[in-house]
Amino acid sequence: MNNENFTFKLSTLILNILLFIGGVWLINVLWQDVVDSVVNFNELSDFYFIVFVACLIWIVLCEFGYQIMLFFPRGRALELNSDSLKVCTVFGMKTIPKKAVRGCKNPVHRATGGLKAGLVIISVDPEYRVMGPYGFKINPQFSGSSVAGENEVSLVKKIRAWRKQSNC
């Protein structure tokens, strides 16, 4: 089998960077109000505002920052070799042997919505799980629509076909 390489779209990286910068700008605008709410804490609404900004910081850093970091290993999302799979992680490309790949979750098309919409989730043995956006070990995943020339359904079909091929 020839090696297949799948790369991220540059436009998706630019969009994630813009969302990250916009989130940081919004946090910067709200930060002085948060400091004033902490100093002059006298109402429950002040507490809600502090929690809101803390959640906003968490989302901006974890979601958009994680998606930006996935792009940096030379922009590659996935490599399918005859005996292994290389998938993007925040620490670079991680090699996973073919026998450790259990399959792919059924893709949820991004048009249908939901929490997992558009994700390509590769099920692997527990020792090959990777660091997720919130710091926990998860199955490798990335947005299928962010891959050049592919979508989540076509990527899952290619990974499943790769798994079914014998090691000749």
Residue 114 confidence class, pLDDT cut points 50, 70, 90: low
| Calpha distance 63→7 (Å, rounded) | 20
Residue 32 backbone dihedrals phi, psi, to 5 degrees: -65, -35
Yes or no: is domain 75-164 CATH 3.10.180? no
Span 82-93, pLDDT tens digits = 889 998 888 888
- Helix, coil or strand: residue 2: coil
Listed by start position, the domains of the chain span: 8-71, 75-164
Residue 163 exposed, middle or buried by CB count within 10 Å (0-12, 13-18, 19+): middle
Does residue 168 surpass a pLDDT of 50?
A: no
pLDDT at 17: 85
pLDDT digits (tens, 9 = 90+) for 115-160: 666 788 889 999 999 888 878 898 988 877 788 888 888 888 888 8
Average pLDDT in the chain: 81
Of 120, 75, 130, which Cα lies nearest the Cα of 100?
A: 130
Q: Which of 63, 65, 92, 61 is nearest to 76 (CA)?
A: 92
